[in-house]
Amino acid sequence: MRSAPLVRSSALLLFLALLSCGYRPVDPSRVFGPDVRRIGIELLENESSEPGFERMLGDALVEEFARRGVLEPVYEGDAGVADLVLKGVVRELEVTPSAFSSVALTLEDRLDVTLDVSVVRAATQEEVWRHTGLRLRENFLTSPDAQVYESNKEQALRRLTSEFAGRIHDELFQKF
């Protein structure tokens, strides 16, 4: 049973290494103050030609904040109990061909999405974070079958919303 002390020693070394490199869990009370526990996720305005993208992105943001657990997401209808409010605009969602076959058929299309996002304190409307022109791209396979094409496009949109949600969450806490 020599492995038990080895495991304890390894765990202690790992713990000390994490402390020495400066890693600390995010403490929302140190970032925004002790009273900030909830963030309201407003439905983003959609100026793009893709209907429903704002709802898809809102769902991804709620899921991301809930998964990370630092701030509790509050749905738009319950925004009165939020300490912070996230709002924004989908400025552009463009689909362009990105890869072609040797006979000039489109093999891949690219989604290019641009957002403006901000977070304000609910009580004072003081802006605590803003990212204007947040832009991500995602490629997806095209298809002559309209159903397959739309399915591939929707999967790419979902990947984009997940990446946007992670970036927004991370940037919000990196500012501080």
Angle, helix 53-68 to helix 146-174, in steps of 10 degrees: 50
Per-residue pLDDT reduced to its tens digit, 92-108: 999 998 877 777 677 89
Instruction: State the Cα–Cα distance between residues 37 and 81, nearest whole angstrom.
Output: 10
**Has residue 127 been placed in a domain?**
yes
Q: Is residue 24 part of a domain?
A: no
Write down the pLDDT at residue 25: 60
Say if 12 falls within a structural domain.
no
- 71 part of a folded domain: yes
Over the stretch 120-151, which tens digit does the pLDDT of each residue have? Answer: 999 899 999 999 999 999 999 999 899 999 99
Instruction: Determine if residue 33 is left, alpha or beta; phi over 0 gives left, psi from -120 to 50 gives alpha, anything else beta.
Output: left
State the CATH number of the domain containing residue 106. Answer: 3.30.160.150
In this prediction the pTM is: 0.79
Domain hosting residue 88, numbered range: 36-174
- The count of structural domains within the chain is 1
Q: What value does the mean pLDDT take over residues 7-26?
A: 68
Alpha-carbon span 170 to 152, nearest angstrom: 27
Among 70, 77, 88, 75, residue whose Cα is nearest residue 129: 88
Asked, for residue 4, whether it belongs to a domain, the answer is: no
- Where residue 30 falls among pLDDT bands split at 50, 70, 90? low
| β pairing state of 106-121 and 127-141 | antiparallel
